[in-house]
Amino acid sequence: MVKIPRLILRLHRSTLGWSLPPAARRSRLATCPPAERARFCPAPENVRGMARTTRGLTETALAAGTDRLQGRDARENTVSAGRSVAALVRTTLGPKGMDKMLLRDGEIVVTNDGASILDRIEVEHPAAKLVVEVADAQGSGPGDGTTTAVVLAGELLGAAEGLFDDGVHPNRVARGYRFAIRRAVDHLDDLAVDAGDDRELLETVARTAITGRWDARSRDLIASLAVDASRAVARGSAVAREDLIRKPVPGGELAASELVSGLVVDLDSSSTTPVTPDPRLPARIEEPTLALVDDQLTVPEPDAVSTASVSGHDALQSFVDREKRHVRKTVDRFDSLGVDVVFCQKSVDDRLRLRLAEQGIRAVERTRQDELNNLARATGGAPVRQVDELDAGATGRAGLIEHRSVGGTDHLVVSECVDSDPHSVVLRGGPPHVVDELERVFEDCLDVIEPVFGGGGVVAGGGATEVALARELRAYAADHSGREQLAIRAVADALEAIPRTLASTAGADPIDVISALRARHHEGEHTAGFDARAGGPADLAAAGILEPAAVKRRALTAAQEAACLLVGIDDVIAAGDLGEDETGHNHAGHDHGHAGGHDHDHGTGGYPWAIGH
- Residues that are catalytic: 113, 146-147, 444
Distance between CA atoms of residues 465 and 461, nearest Å: 6
Instruction: Pick the closest to residue 525 from 536, 534, 516, 533 (CA basis).
Output: 516
> Which DSSP letter does residue 279 get?
T
The span from the CA of 108 to the CA of 29, in Å, is 81
496: nearest Cα among 520, 524, 462: 462
Of 161, 159, 137, nearest in space to 148 by CA: 137
In angstroms, the CA 346 to CA 369 distance is 10
138 Cβ contact partners less than 8 Å away, ≥ 6 residues apart: 115, 144, 145, 146, 149, 554, 555, 558
Strand 569-573: give its sheet, edge to edge: 68-70, 569-573, 609-612
**Within 13 Å and on the Cβ side, how many CA atoms surround 57?**
6
Determine the 3-state secondary structure of 11 from DSSP. helix
**Distance (Å, rounded) from C-alpha 222 to C-alpha 448?**
13
What is the rounded distance in angstroms from the CA atom of residue 271 to the CA atom of residue 367? Answer: 7
Query: Contact at 8 Å (CB) between 349 and 355?
Result: no
CB 243 within 8 A of CB 419: no
